[in-house]
């Protein structure tokens, strides 16, 4: 099973439609669950200490949705960047040797709390580019789908 736990609500209709499309495409391969947790107000005027409080509150919400035994992949600017083929192999290896349940965590705009980083089994950096958190959901789903296509030797990857 694949689970995505993300801070904030997805509001853009076009992105929701893309997510629905990948949900449909993933059905033959895995069960998919997407969980949204509320975000905290984080004005630009916040101090560093106030931002840490925001990250901690969001982090507690994220962690409450993760069960023991789930393998956690944190989307993280300081994570490892890998290509799609390596990602497909990683997905397969995790589900065979570590846990059939993989949870992808997308933290809020300030990044993950220390506790969320500590809980992560793997920290994955999608790109050096910056994406909205909503767009990140679509990109993660597309890469998961691409991973399954690679595993099944499907020409989608080309």
14 is in an annotated binding site: no
3-state secondary structure the chain: CEEEEEECCCCCHHHHHHHHHHHHHHCCCCCEEEEEECCCCCCCCCCHHHHHHHHHHHHHHHHCCCCCCCEEEEEEEEEECCCHHHHHHHHHHHHHHHCCCEEEEECCCCCCCHHHHHHCCEEECCCCCCCCHHHHHHHHHHHHHHHHHHHCCCHHHC
104 is in an annotated binding site: no
10 is in an annotated binding site: no
130 is in an annotated binding site: yes
The dihedral built from the CA positions of residue 12, 148, 146 and 93, taken in this order, carries a sign that is positive
131 is in an annotated binding site: yes
91 is in an annotated binding site: no
Q: Binding site for S-adenosyl-L-methionine: which residues?
A: 75, 107, 126-131
Binding site: which residues?
75, 107, 126-131
């Amino acid at each position: 099973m694949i689970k995505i736990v993300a801070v904030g609500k997805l509001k853009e209709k076009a992105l929701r439609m893309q997510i629905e499309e990948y949900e449909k495409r993933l059905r033959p391969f895995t069960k998919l669950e997407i969980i949204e947790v509320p975000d905290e107000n984080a004005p630009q005027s916040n101090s560093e200490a106030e931002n840490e409080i925001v990250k901690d509150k969001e982090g507690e919400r994220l962690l409450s949705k993760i069960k023991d035994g789930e393998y956690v992949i944190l989307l993280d600017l300081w994570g490892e960047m890998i290509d799609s083929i390596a990602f497909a192999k990683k997905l397969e290896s995790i589900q065979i040797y570590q846990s059939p349940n993989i949870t992808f965590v997308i933290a809020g705009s300030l990044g993950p709390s220390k506790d969320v980083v500590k809980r992560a089994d793997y920290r994955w950096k999608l790109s050096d580019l910056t994406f909205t958190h909503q767009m990140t959901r679509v990109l993660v789903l597309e890469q998961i789908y691409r991973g399954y296509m690679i595993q099944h030797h499907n020409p989608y990857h080309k």
